[in-house]
Structure 1
Amino acid sequence: ARWLPDGHVEFLGRLDDQVKIRGYRIEPGEIEAALRSIEGVREAAVTVRTDSGEPELCAYTEGLRRNEVRTQLERLLPSYMIPAHMIEMERWPVTPSGKLDRNALPAPGGAADAETYTAPSNVTEMKLAQLWEDVLKNGPVGIHDNFFDRGGHSLKATALVSRIAKEFDVQVPLKDVFAHPTVEGLASVIREGTDSPYEAMKPAEKREAYPVSSAQKRIYVLQQLEDGGTGYNMPAVLELEGKLDPERLDRAFKELIKRHESLRTSFEQNEGGEPVQRIHDEVPFTLQTAVLGEQTEQEAAASFIQPFDLSQAPLFRAQLGKVADERRLLLVDR
């Protein structure tokens, strides 16, 4: 980072290459070192790609087939450090100075990342290949493609299991996705599985009040003991620059509250003294406005965060604080 003349600190980036993937902090250099330690791997590089819309690790290797590289790498590193994509390289792009040009490395899904495509041979494989394409967000998927080579990971495998249950009425254990990571292998598991009809969650019948979960009950009791503390508030502050229509923002928040029952819920005690939750059809909401003036952003946020009265919905508030003509702070608390 560096100091600016006005006293602010400008963040320039990390001195190392540490990245955050699905909540894990990862050093790509550690993965490169592990790849180079595998006998037969002559060269390796690891980058972070966002081609699929989310950050993913992509490994480039030379010397071994990628399936063999993945198998050996899984013995050296935890699952969250295994790259989503393994690309075999024959020629490496270099800069005029002779260093590796990481920006010129091929994107996943290109020729360097392609396997021989084998089309589905039956209806089960066709449906399953389509589910893979929906979950992985790339295609086409051949029946011999490896789910994890195509960018799959444990979270996407969980989503795939859920879609299989809905499409085929068969409950496939998550471990079977890891044990049979191809369309062909997983199709055989589905064919041998027992019927387990998919049942979508149905809305609860409309009632005056509903019981609370154990977690809700705990928080409710703690809030009563603290006489309305802010320990469980979840505030957020966003800086908005440019022209803004406060009325449209106010309508957007009202539509959000109208859409989600949880934002129209209040909590109270029934006649037996037990906490219950009440879902209201409509609740009043107004986007608060303020001029910060000489208040700092930290002071504005601190004064905005207040205890909620759990008996009054919505348990959600928002304020638009004007800093300058085209600069505002949006403060949200829930």
Structure 2
Amino acid sequence: MPELVLPMLFAEHVARTPTAPAVIFEGVTLTYAELDRRANRLARHLVALGAGPERSVAVALPRSLYLVEAVLAVLKAGAAYLPLGPENPPSRTIRMLSDARPTMVLTLGRAAARFPQGVPPLVLLDDPGTAADVSALPGGELTDIDRGGALTSLGAATVIFTSGSTGAPKAVVNSHGGLVNRILWMQSAFGLTGQDRVLHKTPIGFDVSLWELLWPLSAGATMVVAAPGGHKDPRYLVRLIREERVTTAHFVPSMLRVFLEEPTVREARGLRRVVCSGEALTPTLRTRFRSVLGVPLFNLYGPTEAAIDVTWWNCTEQQDPATVPIGRPIWNTRVHVLNQELQPVAVGESGELFLSGLGLARGYVGRAGLTAERFLPDPYGPAGGRMYRTGDLARWRPDGALEYLGRIDQQVKIRGFRIELGEIEAALGLCAGVRAGAVAVVEKAGERQLVACVVADGGSRLSPAALRAELALKLPDYMVPVSYTFVGQLPVNRNGKLDREGLAALIG
């Protein structure tokens, strides 16, 4: 029996429901059979140009039918999919190309000027010559002979860049086996059917976009592709969800907050489930979501180094007004909360989160030293196993669920006290009249001080004195911010996550 790899998940539904709608974009619908033929032809073209197993192909395309076809074609060709977000500045793109060394870049003619000429070669999908060459090729499924090598569960499926602590991006290689496990777990947990429609709106540089692209096509559902830039426009998203009958959508909590503030949001009544990940989901936002939409909400957690997500939590379970857990492990995943000596901590104690299991990435491209530093031998699993050091702080609850406490690199020292900024932010989010809040450290007159940036809830009138008084009831005095800046919304980065550099500049 052949190994289970990502193209096989899609092929199953091509055979079972060839005329079912696979993807919808701006009024154009492709069936499973049509999308399959187009992706197979493009895959053959990529193989002829040098794509194949253990080689990567960069994809620099806006959300479109081109993008969906390209992702499938790269995987069918046996190569690893390397997304390059169109929003990346040219200098970052050049650095990523230099590090990952893809065999080619798939893009459109209008974007060609963003890339260095010649290396790697550009394939312009909207070029008439390219289109003619691709359309002349057979549309049947590729074999390992066509690909020039075997497609295996251990083979490289994706190369995703993630931010580095030094400011330089680093490329993470994930395997087919890890991603198949992730996709099949998600289908088991949520059970998409042919009646479901999944919204694809996440920028391709963010690993969540992978399951938005692959999960519906692996489950016989329909993918609804948002227009480029549409992920930033809540009114557009409501209209798209309503008109295309979207049932499933993902939001980073920062964007979910903005979406819920859209006056027309209750028109998104076709939603059956919403998934959150990417940053901490606050109790306040969870409560707001329930009052506005009232459909199941799920909180997922995971780093790029572990095939997108590793834990999940149904937000209707065991409601705690003070926290939203990140939950329990998905299939074939083990989670450890360890102290500095790599020993398990007691329930309720904080420690660093370590991950092991099938979803772990193979490592970082060209960064053997960093791979060895972050992927350690696993003393708690089978011989030869590895565990990934996340740099995240967590603790076990008595019921066996995990709580996320923030980043270790967000741990600061004020007057000798160790402080987790995430703990202060959680308490701030529970204050009356606060819709969102973030905390940073600034230096004034040589002294380090905690300062807060606050978004008020609706017409609430907040005062620094009232916030200090309320936080003093929840936190020791050394954890209460000394100053408060009130803003309309918190700054976010390209992926919709809290922009901590922008936050420091806003407060400073």
Normalised TM-score (structure 1): 0.28
Structure with larger Rg: 1
Normalised TM-score (structure 2): 0.19
- Per residue, is there more strand in 1 or in 2? 2
